[in-house]
């Protein structure tokens, strides 16, 4: 799965604040897999 770094970075920043409020297991799994590459 290819993602544009610019968009991906924005999405990560956005989720960082939302993650504190309500962590989503699916999102966490997605980011874990995303951060490996």
Per-residue pLDDT of the chain (37 residues; tens, 9 = 90+): 565 556 666 666 665 555 555 566 776 676 666 655 4
Distance CA 31, CA 28 (A): 5
Q: With contact defined as beta carbons under 8 Å apart, do 34 and 11 qualify? A: no
CA angle at 20 for the pair 16 and 32, rounded to the nearest 5°: 50
Distance CA 3, CA 23 (A): 22
pTM: 0.22
Distance CA 6, CA 29 (A): 20
């Amino acid at each position: 799965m290819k993602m544009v770094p610019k968009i991906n970075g924005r999405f990560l920043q956005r989720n960082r604040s939302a993650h504190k409020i309500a962590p989503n297991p699916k999102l966490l799994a997605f980011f874990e897999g995303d951060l490996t590459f």
